[in-house]
Structure 1
Amino acid sequence: MQRIPTTQTPLVLGSATTSRGCALDPSKTGLPPQAVLGGANGKGPGVSEVTHPCLSSPSGSGVSGLQECRPLSPGGFRMDLCHPDPGELSSGEAEELQQIKWHRKQLLEDIQKLKDEIADVFAQIDCFETAEESRMAQREKELCIGRKKFNMDPMKGIQYLIEHKLLTPDAQDIAQFLYKGEGLNKTAIGTYLGERDPINLQVLQAFVDCHEFANLNLVQALRQFLWSFRLPGEAQKIDRMMETFASRYCLCNPGVFQSTDTCYVLSFSIIMLNTSLHNPNVRDRPPFERFVSMNRGINGGSDLPEEQLRNLFDSIKSEPFSIPEDDGNDLTHTFFKPDREGWLLKLGGRVKTWKRRWFILTDSCLYYFEFTTDKEPRGIIPLENLSVQKVDDPKKPFCLELCNPSCRGQKIKACKTDGDGKVVEGKHESYRISASSAEERDQWIEAIR
């Protein structure tokens, strides 16, 4: 092995390469930082000898040559990595090197596969979220239509919700929907609960069972019950509802009354008392004594405690029942958050003329008004089964047309009010509407679709 002399004189070490092309690195060769390499024979003043396998050369000169010192930063130097010649490796080393390269290639391929799989998973998640958002938006739209149909015709509304799988035919499911009452007309709820069909009777029982009357006196329970819907006008329907209520109250409050009949009779008595005390058309206000007299012997032949009757009487006298308003014809909530609204020109009338109308699109229906302040629309166009498209008109630009592509020549199912305010069936086979610009027309078409 070639010996390389060193010096004790502090000099700067440059970059040198051995006969194998290996860069000299003081940290790897063991040379002290003050070492300096001499000329071609490695000699210099004050020389001591060190050995390093990387410095041996066939010629015995030790170092094949020195390169110029290239500092990276003060106190640091650029050192090239050692790249051995494959021809000088032993067969075992060469085989090991090939295995390392093969494993490296396999590892890089596996990493790329993992990256591709992760990218696929994220793409699937994005697609799923988009599809789920679209499905939820469609479901909410159908639910809004179902509520609207229920408020106009309770039986048809429930049928629509079941057909679109928004409700099941189960009485419990329907009852929960009515009990929550979101967006539902309370008069319509009372109408549905009052029907005598077997499913309606089951829903009535399940609806009453949704109420929790435990630890409430009878007036408190009646306030809760009568606020959840509006009692229908027919006596037989009211009778069924109050019987169901009385059974539920006694189940929640055992021992308060001797029988459900007592609760039933007293409930009617309280409702009558509420009317007598707070109806402005009733002049004769009944005193407490008359209320006691009205209810003598109703508790299985005996009287109810006077203190109990006093509490019920005072509660009704100080605060009447809150009865839900009959808002069956109120369309305010329908137009509260429309999909689109604005002024458009509509072609219509016996003598075809263009008239300016305020249009509102909501719940898959197109409503048009004479003025923005009108509470009632001049016409309603259900968009179910209708298509919309651009159309050229010789008299108006930027037109769109509504029609039923599968039933051309037939009247579109729609309604409007005539000059006397009566609701009549529409007579249009198609509706032609003109916007103020091509952009506005396209926006309406997109919203309707």
Structure 2
Amino acid sequence: MTCKFNSEIVKAFASLPQLGLVQIKAIHVFLRLFGSIRKEREPCYLQPQLVGSSDLSEAEEAEIDTIKKHRMALLEDIQKLKEEIAQVFAEIDCFQSTEESKMVQRDKDLCMGRKKFNMDPTKGIQYLTEHKVLSSDLREIARFLYKGEGLNKTAIGDYLGERDPANLQILQAFVECHPFANLNLVQALRQFLWSFRLPGEAQKIDRMMEAFANWYCQCNPGVFQSTDTCYVLSFSVIMLNTSLHNPNVKDKPPFERFVAMNRGINNGGDLPEELLRNLFESIKNEPFSIPEDDGNDLTHTFFNPSREGWLLKLGGRVKTWKRRWFILTDNCLYYFEYTTDKEPLGIIPLENLSVRKVDDPKKPNCFELFNPNCKGQKIKACKTDGDGKVVEGKHQSYKISAATMEERDLWIEAIRTSITQDPFYDLVSARKKKIASKN
């Protein structure tokens, strides 16, 4: 019975979390207790006829005294063991309380680290590693980004696109988290482009799509003759998705145009038409799902603007000049009342717009945003009215004044660059030239 009970004790303690020395000590105390009891039960017992008799020999009386001493020693030992057991359980309670406190603190550090990452990815990762939420192992960091719980996917994309050697290794490990084996190219792209948002910079896009193409070809050997083929076709598919599903694109490309776009990219040869048709139909029937970050927090959007500064904007029912803080980023012009504001007063998408110098009798150094193709029509824009509601803008053009002529010219140059920038076409063109030069 005792051996069975001892084994049950061991099982009970083994089912607890790993307690190290505390666990071992507790088991040891229990085994000592029941071992002592078993040991003290082994000495010889009085013969029944002698119990309660007053006619005992000296040897029998000595035996009784010995038993009494053993009994007293056993009781003392049991009391000591009880005290030790109480101490062990107190240590276990303290250990569990400490572990719970550590878990609470870790959750707090994780929450703060996510917030810092969404504001500044590099500082966020630094915070998480310094507070032991993440180790410095780059693969662990990559898995954290791949899971993406609570992380801004735009921030993930910006971080993965950095040129720093550590970031490049994290990018590679991040891409390798994706199980691309036995997936066609569109299926792999759907999975890949959902795990982050592609940044706007051409060099970052190039590094990320290069890593994607390499990993896809490793997972699916023999599908393409080179990673360059996979790279170019991936961009073609992304651009096809935009052309087919962007409502602003009126001329929807037919399958024949998609085939023509990709002639000669397979080491100088053409890809099988069946493969291209499957990709085309997949995109046509189901567009890519691009992750949308929380629209209520635009803070991250304004971290790396192409340009920012104070300008005067002509507007209002009664045309007046008002000083506004402007930020140019992601092919949009945002303006705020104060530099500390998180929400803009207005947003002007630059798609289909042009910019030019203009003269104004009341203000020097002016430039104007206008739509060259739709004169007299309102520019698509939005702003907040006096009640804080978002309403559609009513401008046919936007007239803006800079403090100096030099500043005006810098703004015009930055806006033109933003309007004309389309890194996808430039990257595909460069890679096609590379393929052609090999043949």
CA apart distance, 1:424 = 6.8
| CA deviation string 1:347-391 (max 9, x = no partner) | xxxxxxxxxxxxxxxxxxxxxxxxxxxxxxxxxxxxxxxxxxxxx
The DSSP-based 3-state class of the residue aligned with 1:302 is coil
> Are the equivalent residues in 2 in contact too, given 1:176–1:207 (CA < 8 A)?
yes
CA apart distance, 1:326 = 3.4
Give the aligned partner of residue 191 of structure 1: 158
The DSSP-based 3-state class of the residue aligned with 1:143 is helix
Distance in 1 (CA, whole Å) between partners of 2:191 and 2:341 is 40
Higher relative contact order (Cα pairs below 8 Å, separated by 6+ residues)? 2
Give the aligned partner of residue 248 of structure 2: 281
CA apart distance, 1:321 = 0.5
Distance in 1 (CA, whole Å) between partners of 2:136 and 2:95 is 29
| CA deviation string 1:208-257 (max 9, x = no partner) | 01111000000000000000000001111111110100000000000000
The DSSP-based 3-state class of the residue aligned with 1:423 is coil
Mapping of residues 217-228 of structure 1, within 5 Å: 217-228=184-195
Give the aligned partner of residue 200 of structure 2: 233
1:423 aligns with 2:331: no
Mapping of residues 342-381 of structure 1, within 5 Å: none
Give the aligned partner of residue 250 of structure 1: 217
CA apart distance, 1:283 = 0.4
1:327 pairs with one of 294, 302, 305: 294
Give the aligned partner of residue 210 of structure 1: 177
1:114 aligns with 2:118: no
The structure number with the bigger radius of gyration is 1
Larger displacement relative to structure 2 (320-329 or 280-289): 320-329
AA matched with 2:127: Y
Distance in 2 (CA, whole Å) between partners of 1:168 and 1:182 is 17
Distance in 1 (CA, whole Å) between partners of 2:70 and 2:129 is 61
AA matched with 2:77: D
Distance in 1 (CA, whole Å) between partners of 2:341 and 2:275 is 55
Between structures 1 and 2, the one with greater helix share: 2
AA matched with 2:253: P
Distance in 1 (CA, whole Å) between partners of 2:139 and 2:94 is 35
> Are the equivalent residues in 2 in contact too, given 1:152–1:328 (CA < 8 A)?
no
The DSSP-based 3-state class of the residue aligned with 1:293 is helix
CA apart distance, 1:117 = 2.0
> Are the equivalent residues in 2 in contact too, given 1:188–1:328 (CA < 8 A)?
no
Mapping of residues 44-63 of structure 1, within 5 Å: none
Distance in 2 (CA, whole Å) between partners of 1:133 and 1:185 is 29
Give the aligned partner of residue 181 of structure 1: 148
Distance in 2 (CA, whole Å) between partners of 1:269 and 1:286 is 12
CA apart distance, 1:420 = 4.0
Give the aligned partner of residue 129 of structure 1: 96
Mapping of residues 279-318 of structure 1, within 5 Å: 279-318=246-285
| CA deviation string 1:391-449 (max 9, x = no partner) | xxxxxxxxxxxxxxxxxxxxxxxxxxxx9465179xxxxxxxxxxxxxxxxxxxxxxxx
Distance in 2 (CA, whole Å) between partners of 1:424 and 1:238 is 30
Mapping of residues 1-40 of structure 1, within 5 Å: none
Give the aligned partner of residue 367 of structure 2: none
Q: TM-score, normalised by structure 1?
A: 0.55
CA RMSD of aligned residues (A): 2.2
Give the aligned partner of residue 12 of structure 2: none
Distance in 2 (CA, whole Å) between partners of 1:101 and 1:168 is 62
In structure 2, list runs of 5 or more residues that go unmatched. 1-47, 299-335, 343-439
> Are the equivalent residues in 2 in contact too, given 1:179–1:207 (CA < 8 A)?
yes
Give the aligned partner of residue 383 of structure 1: none
2:123 pairs with one of 126, 141, 156: 156
The DSSP-based 3-state class of the residue aligned with 2:163 is coil
Q: TM-score, normalised by structure 2?
A: 0.56
In structure 1, list runs of 5 or more residues that go unmatched. 1-28, 30-52, 55-81, 332-418, 426-449
Between structures 1 and 2, the one with greater strand share: 1
The DSSP-based 3-state class of the residue aligned with 2:150 is coil
AA matched with 1:423: T
